[in-house]
């Protein structure tokens, strides 16, 4: 065997020989996402691991996502992916979200709950559209609709249960659009409100007592889980985290849930969700449809929230600024920040941030309930 | 709203105009500029950067 034969043998067994056009396209997509994460700082905490996971999973012959028996001989990312597959990671992320969330603005202004519910409008619109295209099963359409809830963990949770083949495109769409909220929402908000409505100054929220804050998580889990048992894993973990925060006696657990645990799970969730974006599965017409539906879902969620905000503005005689309605999509706290930014453009002394947090955290509960509803119907 | 003071843009004795930024604070990981509600002169600055403040706290008084 001469030198050139060895060289060609080596090349034939290398990844270069096994590289397909799909791998190359996926490389390009992952590089674009990396660019957006690093250079443009679009949700870098999520987009960076997702993009790199996508890159790793498409390396030919590397087998990072290969499934084998027994489980411990599987690809390293495939083993970690078990946490996504079993819905463990989305639930743990929800615990972290709970520990980070102050439900005070919602308790102080319960009307926010309606705004949080109205902004789930986008979920149902996207569901019906996705269903009408005929490309998806009703369960898959439901999972696509959930993108409109602007809630990454919920979207992954539902996709896992109702559309296991579509987890990657749904997660990528959900997280990408969440990063784009500051671009998607303001034009819609301005289109649907008048200058006078945007100028509306809201009354300072009342102070919420500790008892209310401690009872709230327990009560919400009890009520919602009895109503929709399938929502219990998500809401239960969310409110466990929140109770850590509000109880005031387990500072350390609250801190771990918010920081260390959240970061660990984010690394594993992000990387392996990205790694499910295998070229074979990802480069299909369905993916493009999902990206399009996701955008519509976000837009209609904003429309739903703002329109109900407008209605409440008139019912209350101008006590509620319709701009806080758009915060009903549950991306916390991005959507609330958008309300603040749009409001302060009209009147720099108007602070809507805390008012917008009410619908914002209500939106988390709202999209989890919508998810539970879909899973009950299609699961 | 509750948050942390990041930056104080004025000093006592300084003249400010309506809409001018006097304090930058951080709440919900977002920087919010607190602007002067009217023209006037800064009488007192009651906070320093790094302070955590609660809803309703006075930050700067205008004379």
What ipTM goes with this model?
Answer: 0.75
Q: Cβ contacts of residue B42 below 8 Å, gap of 6+?
A: B10, B11, B12, B13, B14, B15, B16, B22, B60, B61, B62, B63
Q: Which of A340, A331, A320, A339 is nearest to A361 (CA)?
A: A331
Joined together, the tokens standing for residue A200 give 């509306």
Q: Is residue B19 situated within a structural domain?
A: yes
Residues A307-327 as b/e (b if ≥16 CB within 10 A, e otherwise) read bbbbebbeeeeeebbbbbbbb
Q: Is residue B9 part of a domain?
A: yes
Per-residue model confidence as pLDDT tens digits over A96-132: 999 998 899 999 999 999 999 999 999 999 999 999 9
Q: Is residue B56 part of a domain?
A: no
Strands of the sheet with B60-62, listed across from one edge:
B15-16, B40-45, B60-62
Compute how many other C-beta atoms are within 10 angstroms of the C-beta atom of residue A59. Answer: 16
Task: Look at B33 and A348 and tell me if their CB atoms are within 8 Å.
Answer: yes
Q: How many CB pairs under 8 A join A and B?
A: 30
Question: pLDDT, tens digit, for every residue of A35-63?
Answer: 988 998 877 888 899 899 999 999 998 88
Residue of A375, A191, A173 lying closest to A294 (CA atoms)? A173
Predicted confidence at residue B28, as pLDDT, reads: 66
State the pLDDT at residue B6. Answer: 85
Site from A337, A342, A356, A358 to mutate, B interface, most B CB atoms within 10 angstroms: A337
Q: Bigger pLDDT: A310 or A172?
A: A310
The reply to whether B10 falls in a domain is yes
Pseudo-torsion of CA A4, A8, A14, A19, nearest 10°?
Answer: 140
Highest mean pLDDT among A262-271, B21-30, B46-55: A262-271
In a domain, B14, yes or no: yes
Domain that holds residue B39: 3-47
- pLDDT per residue as tens digits for the range A215-267: 999 999 999 999 999 889 999 999 999 999 999 999 999 999 999 999 999 99
The yes-or-no verdict on residue B21 having pLDDT over 90 is: no
A309 close to A323: Cβ distance less than 8 angstroms:
yes
Is residue B20 in some structural domain?
yes
Whether A353 sits inside 8 A of B30 (CB atoms) is yes
Q: Are A333 and A100 in contact (CB under 8 A)?
A: no
> Which CATH number fits the domain that encloses residue B37?
2.40.50.100
CB nearest B37 (choices: A204, A336, A349): A349
Tokens coding A358: 């009410």
- B59 three-state secondary structure: coil
Per the structure, how many domains does chain B have?
1
Q: Closest partner residue to A333 among B19, B29, B37, by Cβ?
A: B29
Q: Which residue of A has its CA nearest to B55?
A: A204
Instruction: Please tell me the pTM assigned to this model.
Output: 0.85
Q: What percent of chain A has pLDDT over 90?
A: 68
- Tell me the nearest-neighbour CA distance from A307 into chain B, angstroms: 25
Cα A112-A114-A117 angle, rounded to 5 deg = 110
Nearest CA distance, A298 vs chain B (angstrom): 22
Q: Which positions ≥6 away from A59 have C-beta within 8 Å?
A: A15, A23
Where does the pLDDT of residue B29 fall: very low under 50, low under 70, confident under 90, or very high at 90 and above? low
pLDDT, one tens digit per residue, over A285-335 is 999 999 999 999 999 999 999 999 999 999 999 999 999 999 999 888 889
Helix (H, G, I), strand (E, B) or coil at A205: coil
B52 lies in some domain: no
Contacts of A340 in chain B (CB under 8 A): 30, 32
- For residue A87, give both structure tokens: 């819905």
Alpha-carbon distances of A45 from A125, A224, A234, A294, A329, rounded to whole Å: 29, 31, 22, 21, 20
- Stretch B20-41: mean pLDDT: 81
- How far is A251 from A203, CA to CA, in rounded Å? 32
Question: If we measure between CA atoms, which residue out of A337, A359, A347 comes closest to residue A200?
Answer: A347
Q: How far is B1 from chain A (nearest CA, A)?
A: 6
On whether the CB atoms of residues A17 and A275 are closer than 8 A, the answer is: no
């Amino acid at each position: 065997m001469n030198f050139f034969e060895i060289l060609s043998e080596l090349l034939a067994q290398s990844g270069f020989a096994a590289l397909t056009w799909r791998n190359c396209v996926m490389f390009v997509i992952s590089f674009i996402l990396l660019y957006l994460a690093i250079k443009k700082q679009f949700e870098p905490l999520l987009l960076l691991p997702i993009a790199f996971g996508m890159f790793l999973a498409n390396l030919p012959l590397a087998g990072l996502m290969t499934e084998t028996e027994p489980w411990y001989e599987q690809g390293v990312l495939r083993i970690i992916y078990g946490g996504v597959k079993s819905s463990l990671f989305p639930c743990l992320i929800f615990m972290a979200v709970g520990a980070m969330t102050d439900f005070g603005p919602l308790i102080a202004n319960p009307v926010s709950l309606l705004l949080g519910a109205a902004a789930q409008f986008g979920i149902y619109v996207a569901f019906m559209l996705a269903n009408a295209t005929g490309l998806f099963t009703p369960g898959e359409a439901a999972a696509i609709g959930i993108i409109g809830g602007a809630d990454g963990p919920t979207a992954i949770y539902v996709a896992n249960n109702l559309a296991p083949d579509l987890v990657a495109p749904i997660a990528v769409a959900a997280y990408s659009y969440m990063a784009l909220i500051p671009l998607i929402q303001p034009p819609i908000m301005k289109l649907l409100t008048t200058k006078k409505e945007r100028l509306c100054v809201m009354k300072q929220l009342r102070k919420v007592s500790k008892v209310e804050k401690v009872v709230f998580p327990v009560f919400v889990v009890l009520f919602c889980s009895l109503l929709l048992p399938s929502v219990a894993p998500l809401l239960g973990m969310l409110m466990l985290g929140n109770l850590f925060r509000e109880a005031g006696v387990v500072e350390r657990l609250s801190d771990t849930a918010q920081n260390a645990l959240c970061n660990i799970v984010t690394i594993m969730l992000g990387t392996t969700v990205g790694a499910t974006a295998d070229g074979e599965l990802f480069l299909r017409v369905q993916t493009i449809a999902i990206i399009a539906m996701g955008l519509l879902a976000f837009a209609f969620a904003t429309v739903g929230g703002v329109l109900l905000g407008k209605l409440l503005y008139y019912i209350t005689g101008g006590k509620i600024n319709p701009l806080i309605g758009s915060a009903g999509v549950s991306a916390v706290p991005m959507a609330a920040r958008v309300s603040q930014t749009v409001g302060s453009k009209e009147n720099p002394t108007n602070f809507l941030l805390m008012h917008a947090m009410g619908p914002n955290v209500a939106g988390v509960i709202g999209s989890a309930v919508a998810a539970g509803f879909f899973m009950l119907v299609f699961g | 709203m509750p948050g942390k003071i990041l930056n104080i843009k004025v000093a006592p004795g300084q003249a400010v105009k309506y809409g001018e930024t006097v304090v930058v604070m951080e709440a919900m990981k977002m920087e919010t500029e607190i602007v002067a509600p009217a023209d006037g002169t800064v009488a007192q600055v009651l906070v320093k950067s790094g302070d955590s403040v609660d809803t309703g706290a006075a930050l700067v008084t205008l004379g």
